[in-house]
Amino acid sequence: MKLWGGRFAKSTEFMVDDFNSSIRFDKRMYKEDIEGSIAHVTMLGKQNIITLDESAAIIKGLEALEIDIEANNIEFDISAEDIHMNIEALLTKRIGSVAKKMHTGRSRNDQVALDIRLYIKKEIKVIDSHLYELLKVLHQLSSDHISTIMPGYTHLQKAQPTTFSHHLMAYFEMFKRDRDRLKSTYNRMNQSPLGSGAFATTTYNLDRQFTADLLGFDSICLNSMDGVSDRDFLIDLLQNIAVTMMHLSRFSEEIIIWCSHEFKFVNLDDAYSTGSSIMPQKKNPDIAELIRGKTGRTYGNLMSLLTTMKGIPLAYNKDMQEDKEVTFDSIDTINMCLPIFTKMISTMTVNKTVMRAGAEGGFTNATDAADYLVKKGLPFRDAHEVIGKLVLYCITNNTDLSSLTLDEYKTLSPIFEKDIYEAISLETCVNLRQVIGGPAKEQMEKVLDINKNYLEI
């Protein structure tokens, strides 16, 4: 018998129950559903909408049910459709007709809007704690590699020397912003929809502020129709997750490149790599590749929910049941990816000498050679031209800037003196970049210090 069976002369086809039901995936919100019902029923008792005894009996029954669900002693039923009606049906079976008062002054529409908000409030905290752990590891790695010189790239062509510390702290800033984005999503959605009813509230004298306080919301949704019918906060979250996954994916891509035989900048720990079933020599960065791959599904989930929501008239429509699988999938994906990525980078070895050798090739000090001439009075555009010619000369003669003789330098410009060699050493190139935000040792130390405060470590 359906909880809404009164109006129906026939029972639904199994096929319909199966199609309509969301219990398969929304059962993971059982805790939030029970938490919400306890708050609602406490309020109903306080407002004399039901008696205090009835309220207490329902709460006791819900608490016992939660223990049994947790112990895996409960079978959910697809014909009871979703977690909300499953719990009500189970409670009624256990404590009798008093359970039927639980839904007074409430609709599944405000119930589901409440449950999903409570659920993602918890999950945002979990994602944030994974991001925090990643930031701590990045900060440590960065502090260890403040003097580790590596080539920096643009267009994946060697550009200028930098340090591994500088490179890692770029990601640090990205993940910091990801935490900020999550925080603002959290703050924006921290409003209770409970009491919105089907969409127009109810005629009972509900105390919405009371349930909002009990459930830890900052405030209440000021329009009950909005309270039940928007899912923008889930779209915000899916967007936040997609952006973090994009950052993780770029980082993963770099790790994949750095592990390649051609680069060898890093070695992944054996415990975080995999082999090939046919090629005995292989050690593959599967974890990084999978993170890169899974980024796609989080983009898909965001697009999916945006598309689901785009044509739905106010207020609740069943289309909105489709919000959950994509949300849960993105949450599960990021909660798998973040900790494994953090472990992978905290256990990898960094090949400092290979990185440095990489920075030595490819004329990464050409900008500094031009700046040397500028500091001696040549306009930058002319200096650029001189060094361009020198680079071409080096390429033709298979040599590099630091191996040229002073005479060779002087044939292109008489301004060159012996101090050119010091001016284009990799250490000078890095450590003369004394602008805040740059790779020079003192600047990196300042930034690492600022971020130490941020992390409160």
Is 155 assigned a catalytic role?
yes
CA distance 392 to 421: 18
β-strand pairing of 157-163 with 191-192: unpaired
CA distance 117 to 111: 10
Q: Are 378 and 413 in contact (CB under 8 A)?
A: yes
Q: Does 37 bind ligand ARG (CB under 6 A)?
A: no
Number of residues that bind ligand ARG (CB under 6 A): 10
Q: Give me the helices (H) in 190-231, please.
A: 208-214, 224-229
Exactly one of 37, 79, 109, 351 binds ligand ARG (CB under 6 A); that residue is 109
Q: Does 112 bind ligand ARG (CB under 6 A)?
A: yes
Which 422-451 residues touch ligand ARG, going by CB under 6 A?
A: none
- Per DSSP, which regions of 291-430 are E strands? 349-350
In the chain, what is the straight-line distance between the N-terminal and C-terminal CA atoms, in Å? Answer: 58
Nearer to ligand ARG, 7 or 318 (CB): 318
The label of the residue with tokens 């390429």 reads: 395
Nearer to ligand ARG, 109 or 431 (CB): 109
Exactly one of 160, 249, 298, 321 binds ligand ARG (CB under 6 A); that residue is 321
**SS3 for 332?**
helix
CA distance 395 to 393: 6
At 348, the amino acid letter reads M
Q: Are 256 and 214 in contact (CB under 8 A)?
A: no
Exactly one of 164, 199, 316, 409 binds ligand ARG (CB under 6 A); that residue is 316
Site string for ligand ARG, 53-82 (x = CB under 6 A): -----------------------------x
At 140, the amino acid letter reads Q
Q: Which of 332, 429, 363 lies closest to 25 in space, CA to CA? A: 332
Is 276 assigned a catalytic role?
yes
Site string for ligand ARG, 15-34 (x = CB under 6 A): -------x---x--------
Nearer to ligand ARG, 22 or 211 (CB): 22
Stretch that binds ligand ARG, among 104-112, 132-140, 374-382, 439-447 (CB under 6 A): 104-112
The least CB distance from residue 198 to ligand ARG, in Å, is 7
Nearer to ligand ARG, 57 or 320 (CB): 320
Using CB under 6 A as the criterion, which residues of the chain lie in contact with ligand ARG when the complex forms?
22, 26, 82, 108-109, 112, 316, 318, 320-321
Residues annotated catalytic, as ranges: 155, 276
